[in-house]
Amino acid sequence: MKYQTPRGTYDILPDEIGKWHDVERVIREKTELYRYREIRTPFFESTSVFSRENDSSDMVNKEMYTFSVGGDSYTLRPEGTAGVIRAFDQHKLYGSMELPAKFYYMGAMFRHERPQKNRQRQFHQFGVENIGVKSPEIDAETIALGYDIVKAMDISSVKVCINTLGDDESRAAYRKALKEYFTPHLDELCSDCHRRLEQNPLRILDCKVDHDAPFMKDAPKLSDYLNEESKAYFQRVLKALDCLGIPYEIDERLVRGLDYYTHTVFEVMSTRPDSGAQATIFGGGRYDHFVEYYGGPQMSGIGFAIGLERLISLAEEEGHDFGKERGCDVYVLGLGDVQDQVLQVLSDLRHSGFSADGSLYGRSLKAQFKSADRAQAKYVVILGEDEVRQGTVNLKRSGEKDQISVKREELVSRLRDMEGSER
């Protein structure tokens, strides 16, 4: 029987992992500059952490991996925000951390959806949550962090789309208007939008099936239902983005796919002609009632998430230099019954900070040199039975014929001298 990865999953092989290391390095560097701290939450949570009352999102209703153990229901995490907020409340971090509390997470998520390019059932996501202070300037700064990461990956073909969902009062008035408008069109809506009409009519605007239906063009606009406070908040967000020099477009149809957002919502999109349905690079928004839902105080927060597969793919298409993984500094060749001594030399080199590999089983000198070439070793150390008796090794640069005899205890210092002469 041939075993293969389950549908919607894939292996990241050693030849590909360097790209992941590079994007993770960029993310960690940028989040450190913005003073975010990493948090790691479980890969599965109680189902109620994700399946909140009357949630209309496809993620909750159709895509979660849920299982039961001993009468308890658990779900593999389909997104990162809920787990972060749950941890924030459970550990009462609102009382021990400076506010706003700034977190970032990075890891695997799971959604049972149709696999396609850069969208698998197990996928990898980086996200941030900024919790505890409600400020238009924080909204703009959060967008700027994601924008900086995208730019650092040399992705230039991007635009920021932004909208406001307003406060509770504005959104309630808009939901009522949408429900009244779409009810006569019920027979024309897809089955998912029948559910959305009752749970959250704003989500109908985000429907991929009904998006181009003629009646969608005349649907009420949220901007007509915003109260003055919500309008003023949004204008301050836009002013802050202007101050940061971040270009944006206002998209009144942008509502995002999750139900907990309030006020600012945004997506950063690829403008490449070949992006198609995969245009969104990252998106997020502000939430006003999420912290209290899990038992904490009434606090506002804002966050976003980036799919790493999509980020890596776009960076490749835009010609980003992912750099090279660190090569082998030293390869140690053994001649005769000297494996113990080879092992000791390798240990000395590694403890001195050199990346080292070597042959720990009997092979011909020719085969060992081929291994050194494949490892792209900068230096080669040759150790035979005569060298063991004399307490020496032979040292040479890869690709050169000349070699020198070095006392074992002087090998590390000699290598450092050779490294210094090449700088």
Q: Is 81 annotated as a binding residue?
A: yes
- Of residues 110, 125, 102, the one with CA closest to residue 23: 125
70 a known binding residue? no
> Does 80 belong to an annotated binding site?
yes
Residue 129 in marked binding region: yes
Q: How many angstroms separate the CA atoms of 309 and 202, rounded?
A: 29
Which is it for strands 101-110 and 72-76: parallel, antiparallel or unpaired?
unpaired
| DSSP one-letter string for 347-366 | HHHHHTT--EEE--S---HH
366-to-332, 333, 359, 386 alpha-carbon distances in Å:
13, 10, 12, 19
Please confirm whether the linkage preceding 100 is cis (ω < 30° from 0).
yes
Geometric angle at alpha carbon 57, from 52 and 61, rounded to 5° = 75
111 is in an annotated binding site: yes
Residue 60 is encoded by which pair of tokens?
Answer: 């909750």
Structure tokens at 266: 């945004």
Name the DSSP class of 216. Answer: G
What residue spans of 57-96 are helical by DSSP H?
58-62, 81-90, 93-96
Is 5 annotated in a binding site? The answer is no
Under DSSP, the state recorded for 221 is P
Dmax of the chain from CA atoms?
95
Q: Taking a C-beta distance cutoff of 8 angstroms, is the pair 245, 143 a contact?
A: no
Residue positions forming the annotated binding site for L-histidine: 79-81, 111, 125, 129, 256, 260-261
Residue positions forming the annotated binding site: 79-81, 111, 125, 129, 256, 260-261
